[in-house]
Amino acid sequence: MSESVSRLAPASFPDIPPIAGVQLATYAAGIKYESRPDLFLASLAEGTSVAAAFTSSKCPSAPVEWCRRILNQGNRTARALVCNSGNANAFTGAAGTASATLTAEVVARSLGVDAERVFLASTGVIGEPLPDDILSDSLPALVDNLGVASAEAWVEAAGAICTTDTFSKGSAARINSTAAHIAGIAKGSGMIAPDMATMLAFVFTDLAVAPEILQSCLSTSVAASFNCITVDSDTSTSDTVLLFATGEQIDDEISSPTDSRLDEFQGALDSVLLDLAHQVVRDGEGATKFVQVTVTGAESDESAHNIARSIAESPLVSTALAAEDANWGRIVMAVGKAGERADRDRLSIWIGDELVAAGGAQHRDYSEPRATQHLKQDEIELRVDVGIGTGAATVWTCDLTHGYIEINAGYRS
């Protein structure tokens, strides 16, 4: 984890409550990083439901393939989650599969559970085999470190999964009609794009939720959070979101889509995932601006999303934002290249509250100094109304600075 914290970081790590049925552990195995934990373990109560979302990459990591396989076999309960940082265990062939199997089996044996109930994640450098000798020695010690999911344990867990992150990411919410909570940690800083990112997110609740309901809730939340962020348009091999419901606090299971508690649970989950997604963008490699791009008046919500993504992923737009340059012609360019229906003469563009362009030309009252003043803030809003329909979407991104190049030019060193 970087020693220089992003200026967009939250003031502090949140005070995350214990989640009944969850124990946490970290361990400094030395897989890549010296003198910092790089292994994370969550031990989960018997009967814990699991839901998942994974990368859209056609070159997924061995841990992603492991998790997909056991889920596709019909396993919808979990007993443990193991994550290492510093090595993605991606594009590592048969050796990567063997390392994933080794990890699951060693942890399963140490916990006395079925290896098919152990979920895996890895993040870091692609193409380098995991050191199996280190794993064999370190994983039993990791299990020995298990303890209560205290506030301090959440901080340590969030730090153990980081790579180029400049701060640890966590979020929590209470489900007010019950005594249950939702808690989550995430990592991510670069190789971030919609349809997941170089990011991991692990979320836990002590509510009892049937697996099919849990999966539906997670899919809804991911669509509005992690699939609406981008830093550099690159999609990772390792993106994983896992949601676990232990049922240890409230064992009256939510098993019907008409359950009166479901809306509140969905709202709490949406809040936690969006918070984590925003923190990932705020930690974008080299970022100095947190940018919200909102598109309205499109042919459909999907069309609006694609236009917003085109704006957010444009290097020309992102570098203009880094320079605090109100070069709104680059926004026009990004709308036009999105491949979605648009009408130049119906298009309206705002930078903050400043109406920049409308009716196919610069607005007569446009003030570049006012627009530039907005761009000097840490948080920027760009708005576009396409003027042809009712579709709307929001995507969050950051600016593109020299810092991004410096971080990624030396990532493996």
Give the active site residues: 198
Instruction: Confirm if 404 and 358 have CB atoms less than 8 A apart.
Output: no
Say if CB 199 and CB 187 are below 8 A apart. Answer: yes
3-state secondary structure of 248: strand
Q: What does the alpha-carbon distance between residue 378 and residue 292 come to, in Å, rounded to a whole number? A: 11
Residue in 100, 106, 117, 266 with CA at minimum distance from that of residue 182? 266
Cα–Cα distance, 111 to 121 (Å, whole number): 18
| HSE-up of residue 121 (Cα within 13 Å, Cβ side) | 29
Residues 6+ away with beta carbon under 8 Å from 215: 51, 52
How many other CB atoms sit within 10 Å of the CB of residue 405? 12
Q: Which of 378, 397, 382 is nearest to 230 (CA)?
A: 397
Residue for token digits 């026009």?
Answer: 332
| Residue carrying the six token digits 């997909």 | 68
d(C-alpha 398, C-alpha 401), whole Å? 9
